[in-house]
Structure 1
Amino acid sequence: MATEHVDVLIVGAGLSGVGAACHLRRNCPEKTYAVLESRAAIGGTWDLFRYPGVRSDSDMFTLGYSFKPWTDPKAIADGDAIRDYVRRTADEYGVTDHIRFRHRVLRADWDSASARWTVHAQRDDTGETVVLTCAFLFTCAGYYRYDAGYAPRFPGTERFAGRIVHPQHWPADLDHTGKRVVVIGSGATAVTLVPAMAERAAHVTMLQRSPTYVLALPSRDVLADALRRWLPAKAAYPVVRWKNVLLSTANFQLSRRAPALVRRLLLRAARGRLPAGYDVDRHFSPRYDPWDQRLCVVPDGDLFTAVARGRASVVTDTVDTFTERGVRLGSGEELAADVVVTATGLNLLALGGMTLSVDGAEVELPDTVAYKGMMLSGVPNFAMTLGYTNASWTLKADLVATYVCRLLRHLDRTGQQVVTPLPPPDGELEPIIDLTAGYVLRSVDALPKQGARAPWRLHQNYPRDVLLMRHGRLTDPGVRFSRAGTPERRTARA
C-alpha cells in the first residue's frame, strides 16, 4: 500500500499543536497536513492534569492564541476552561478532523534525495505501526514526559497507612474531605493544590525543602473588563494582550537588573497578605534571585489567604522518613497526614521521546544548536515549539507557527524545497533552557544547546522576537536553502 503523504505533519494536539494547525490553515491553506496525538483527546497538558484547582500560571490574554480572543471573565483560568478553549478553537478552524488520536510518534527519518521525512508512529489502541511521509515536520509535544512525573524515593513509604498520590496521575476516587493533607513541594503545582484542597480538607500543609517566590495577581483583568463594555472582543483582546506582555517583560528585565529590589517588593507583598509576625523570610524568601526560576502566581492571593485563615500552613524542612501516621521531618517533628501529595515536579522529554535521523545518521540532540529557538542545526525541514520560560508559552508558540508558515511560503516562492539551519561558527554554547529549576537541571544535558548570539540565541523577549520572527529576514548566515537531492553533511563548528 502507498504510504500517506502530507505537506506538513504536526506532532501533538495540545495548545501548541492545535495553534500550529490553525496558523497553517490561516496562512498556508493550500498545504495538506495531519496532526498525530499520542493521547485520546485534544488538550495536551490541560487534558492530562486533573488535580484539584489546576489552572494556568500565565494570564489567558497571553496564554490564549493571538487569533482567538479569550472571552472568559477569568484572566487566570482553570484547566477545564483552557481545555474547552483549545477544543473550540480546533473545531472552529476545522483542525479536529485532521487529528489522529492514539498515534505515538517513535522516529522520523529524513531522506535528502526525496526531501521527505518518513515518520513511524504506533497506535496505542491497536499496536499497529503507521508510516507517513511529509515535506516538513513540526513537533509541538512540549518538553514534559506525560507518562511519569518526577517522584523521588522517600524512605518509609511502605509503612504509611494513608494514601500517596502524584498530581500528574490524580485518582478520580480520591476524596480528601475532612482529611489531613501534606503536599510535598513548593512549585506551581503545590501552590495551586494547597488552597484548592484546603476548601474541604481538615488542614493542608505545604512541606517544602526550600521556598519559591510567590506573586499574587488578580484573577480578573481590570482593563479587560472595562474594554469589554465598549469594544468588541477582537478589538479589546490585542490591547490587553500587549499590556500584559509589556508588564511581564518589564518585571523580568527589572528582576535581571535589580534583583535585590524585586526580592524586597515580593517579600513586602507577601507580608501584607499574611498575619503579623509570620516568618516570611523562612517560608517565602528563596536563596536564588527572582526569575532564576519561574515565579509562582496565585490568583487573588489564594495561597496567602488559606494560610492566614488557618486552613493551610507552610513548613520548610526536609523529609526524614514516612511513618505509619504521616511524615517525620529532618527536625524530628512529625506531620500527621491521611493523604500525602508528592508535588515534586516533572520529568523532561525532548520531542515527545521521538528519535531523528538525517540520511541514515542518528541525530544526537545534545550535539545540535537551536536556530531562533525553534529549529536544530543540521536537521532539515524541521521545527519544534519551545515556549518562553519567563512568559506565556503560547506567545512563543504563535511566533514559531507564524515563522514556519513564512518559511513554507518562501520555499514555494523561490522554488527551493529544503531549509537547513547551520551551527554557529564560534562562541560558547549554553543550555537552551536558562532556568535553575530541578526539572531543568535533571535533564539539561539531553537537550539541544543555544549559541552566544542571534540567530542561535533564545532571547526570552517577546517584543524583540516579534521583530525577528514576524518581520526579520528569512535568509541569513544561520540557514541554508537548497533543492531535493542535496545530501546533508555534518557541518562541524569552527
Structure 2
Amino acid sequence: GIRSDSDMYSFSFGFRPWKSPQRFGNGADIQQYLEETAAELGITDHVRFQTTVLAADWDSARAVWKITLGRTHDEYRGHVPGHRPDTSAPKVVPGSEFTLTARYLIGCTGYYKYDAPHWPTFPGQEQFKGEIVHPQFWDPKTSVEGKDIVVVGSGATAVTIVPAVAAAGAKSVVMLQRTPSYLAPIPRSSMAYAFGMKLAVLFPVAWTIQLVRFLHIFESWLLFKLARRYPHIVKKRLNDAWELALGGSEALEKQRPHLTPPYEPWDQRICAMPGADLLKCVRRNEVEIVTDRIAAVTESGVRLESGRVLPADIIVPATGLTLAACGGLPVTIDGVRTPNGDRYPYRSGAMTCDIPNFFSIMGYLNGSWATKADLVAFFAARVIGEAESRNARQVVPRCPPEMQAKGERMTGHWNSGYIQRAIAANEVPYQGAADPFKVHHDYFRDYKALVFGSVREKHLIYA
C-alpha cells in the first residue's frame, strides 16, 4: 500500500516534473520515476550501494570531513517478521570499514531512524499467537487474506495501510486509535494538471508542467495558512467532505467521535486520503475505526480499556517515527559531539550553526517534502560556489549570543508524538531570535531566502 501522501507534482524533482494525471504516486510508480531520473542523469554510477555510514567527524586542522563507512551486514539489513530488528547486531561486515575524506558533507537521510521506529511494547503481547508486523519492516511475503487485522495508530502510515489491507482481502480490518487525526479526502486526479494540459496547446509543455507544479505548491501553502488563521472554515470543509464520503449526515454522526481530534487543523499533520479511500471502506463496512486504548494483548486479539476484545491474526503497530537528524549518524567536530538541541539552525535549517561545510536537506512538515529539498540543494550550491570563488576551505554559520533564544524549537508549533519525543531527547534545535536563525515552514519565504538571499552576509563565515 505504499504511496505518496503529498501530490506528486510538488513531491517530484523541480528539474524533472511529474507528468501523470494521477495526483498521488504508488510505490512502483515512485520507484520507476527515481530509477529513470538517476539513470538519465548518470547518478547511479556514483552511488555506493549496501554501504552504511558509521560516523562523520570534522577535522579542523585539515578542514575536511572524515567519514567512516562499511559494507552493510546482511543480518542487519534483514528482520524476522513479528520481531523487532536486532539493532545491537553489527551494522557492517567486520573488517569492511573504510574512510573517505570530503570538503563538504550533505545530509540527505530524511528526519527519522530507519532501523529504530517508535515501537511500544503492548501489555501481554508475549502471549499473542499471531504476527506483529511493523510497517517500517513489512515483509512482502506477509499475507493478510482472510485474516483479522488490527492497525494501531491514526497517522499517515495507518491511513495509508488500512485501505490497502482491506483491498487485499482481509477478513476484518480495525484502525485502532487513541486520538483521531484530521483526515482530508483529496481527489485522485488533478484539476491543475488538466488545466495545464489545455494550456499546452498554446504553450510549451515544459512551461505548463512547471505551472502545474507551482499551482500545487501554492494550493498547499494557501490551505495551511487558511487552517492556521481560520480553522473553523477548514473544519467545515472537512466535515462536508466526510459526509459526502460516508453517504450522509447520519453516517457522519456515527463516525464523528472517530474523526474529531482535540486540537485544531495543522497542530499536527493532516492525513491525505486519495479519493476518500479510507472513509469509503468504512462506508462499505470493510473497515472499522475504533477510538480506545489497549488494556492488553491476548492470545488471539487486543483487549481494550472499554472491555471490548478485537480479534486479530496480525497486529500492525503504525505508532510513529523516531526523529533523528541525519538518520542518527554521529556528527562530531574534532571528535566532540554537541547535542542537536544545543545548536541553532541557519536559513531555515539548510545549515547548522558551528558545523562547518555541512548542509542538511530537509523538507516541510506542512507541505511536500521535496519543495524545500530543492531550495536547500540550490542554496548549498550557491554557498559552495561562493566559497570556491574566495578559495575558502570552510564556511560556517555563527549565531551570536544575542540571537540565541531558548524559545520555540525548530519544529515550530507542531505537537505530534514523534516531535515531542525528540524534543524530550534534546534532538531538536531551538530557533534563534530572528532571521537568519528562524525556521518559517513557508515555501515562499524560504524561496526568497535560499534562492535570492545573500550568501555573503555577516553570520556566514568563510575562511
TM-score by length of 2: 0.89
CA distance in 1, matches of 2:70, 2:407: 35
1:176, CA displacement in angstroms?
1.1
Counterpart of 1:477?
Answer: 458
CA distance in 2, matches of 1:86, 1:453: 37
Are positions 1:69 and 2:10 aligned together? Answer: no
The one of 213, 218, 224 equivalent to 1:252 is 224
Is the CA contact (8 Å cut-off) linking 1:371 and 1:478 kept in structure 2?
no
Deviations 1:309-335, CA, capped at 9 Å, x for gaps: 111111111111112221111111111
1:226, CA displacement in angstroms?
4.1
Counterpart of 1:221?
Answer: 190
Which aligned pairs between 1:396-407 and structure 2 lie closer than 5 A? 396-407=372-383
Are positions 1:297 and 2:272 aligned together? Answer: yes
CA distance in 1, matches of 2:281, 2:205: 34
Taking a change above 3 Å as real, the CA distance of residues 315 and 472 of structure 1, as seen in their structure-2 partners, is: same
Deviations 1:238-296, CA, capped at 9 Å, x for gaps: 11111111111111111111223322322232122214423343111101111111100
Taking a change above 3 Å as real, the CA distance of residues 188 and 141 of structure 1, as seen in their structure-2 partners, is: same
Is the CA contact (8 Å cut-off) linking 1:368 and 1:423 kept in structure 2?
no
Taking a change above 3 Å as real, the CA distance of residues 159 and 361 of structure 1, as seen in their structure-2 partners, is: closer
Which aligned pairs between 1:181-196 and structure 2 lie closer than 5 A? 181-196=149-164
1:225, CA displacement in angstroms?
3.1
CA distance in 1, matches of 2:120, 2:339: 28
The one of 407, 414, 420 equivalent to 2:390 is 414
Counterpart of 1:270?
Answer: 242
Taking a change above 3 Å as real, the CA distance of residues 422 and 184 of structure 1, as seen in their structure-2 partners, is: same
CA distance in 2, matches of 1:222, 1:120: 48
Name structure 2 gaps, 5 residues minimum. 74-92
Q: Which moved more, 1:154-163 or 1:201-210?
A: 154-163
Is the CA contact (8 Å cut-off) linking 1:106 and 1:353 kept in structure 2?
no
Counterpart of 1:54?
Answer: 2
Q: Which moved more, 1:132-141 or 1:78-87?
A: 78-87
CA distance in 2, matches of 1:203, 1:58: 28
TM-score by length of 1: 0.84
The one of 52, 55, 72 equivalent to 1:104 is 52
Name structure 1 gaps, 5 residues minimum. 1-52, 483-494
Is the CA contact (8 Å cut-off) linking 1:161 and 1:325 kept in structure 2?
yes
Residue 107 of structure 1 aligns with an amino acid whose one-letter code is A
Overall identity of the aligned pairs, in %: 40
Counterpart of 1:438?
Answer: 417
Are positions 1:148 and 2:126 aligned together? Answer: no
Is the CA contact (8 Å cut-off) linking 1:371 and 1:421 kept in structure 2?
yes
In the alignment of these two chains, the number of paired residues is 430
CA distance in 2, matches of 1:312, 1:359: 54
Is the CA contact (8 Å cut-off) linking 1:267 and 1:284 kept in structure 2?
no
Which aligned pairs between 1:303-452 and structure 2 lie closer than 5 A? 303-372=278-347, 373-424=349-400, 425-426=402-403, 427-434=405-412, 435-444=414-423, 445-452=426-433
CA distance in 2, matches of 1:418, 1:367: 22
Is the CA contact (8 Å cut-off) linking 1:123 and 1:130 kept in structure 2?
no
Deviations 1:442-488, CA, capped at 9 Å, x for gaps: 11222322223211111111111111111111122322111xxxxxx
Residue 131 of structure 1 aligns with an amino acid whose one-letter code is T
Counterpart of 1:48?
Answer: none
Is the CA contact (8 Å cut-off) linking 2:17 and 2:213 kept in structure 1?
no
CA distance in 1, matches of 2:194, 2:436: 39
CA distance in 2, matches of 1:75, 1:268: 21
CA distance in 2, matches of 1:447, 1:428: 12
Q: Which moved more, 1:54-63 or 1:162-171?
A: 162-171
Q: Which moved more, 1:436-445 or 1:269-278?
A: 269-278
1:233, CA displacement in angstroms?
4.2
Residue 179 of structure 1 aligns with an amino acid whose one-letter code is K
CA distance in 2, matches of 1:114, 1:252: 45
Structure with the largest fraction of strand = 1
Is the partner of 1:277 in helix, strand or coil? helix
Is the CA contact (8 Å cut-off) linking 1:163 and 1:338 kept in structure 2?
yes
Are positions 1:130 and 2:78 aligned together? Answer: no
CA distance in 1, matches of 2:222, 2:325: 30
Taking a change above 3 Å as real, the CA distance of residues 233 and 342 of structure 1, as seen in their structure-2 partners, is: farther
Is the CA contact (8 Å cut-off) linking 1:267 and 1:280 kept in structure 2?
no
1:360, CA displacement in angstroms?
4.2
Is the CA contact (8 Å cut-off) linking 2:55 and 2:329 kept in structure 1?
yes
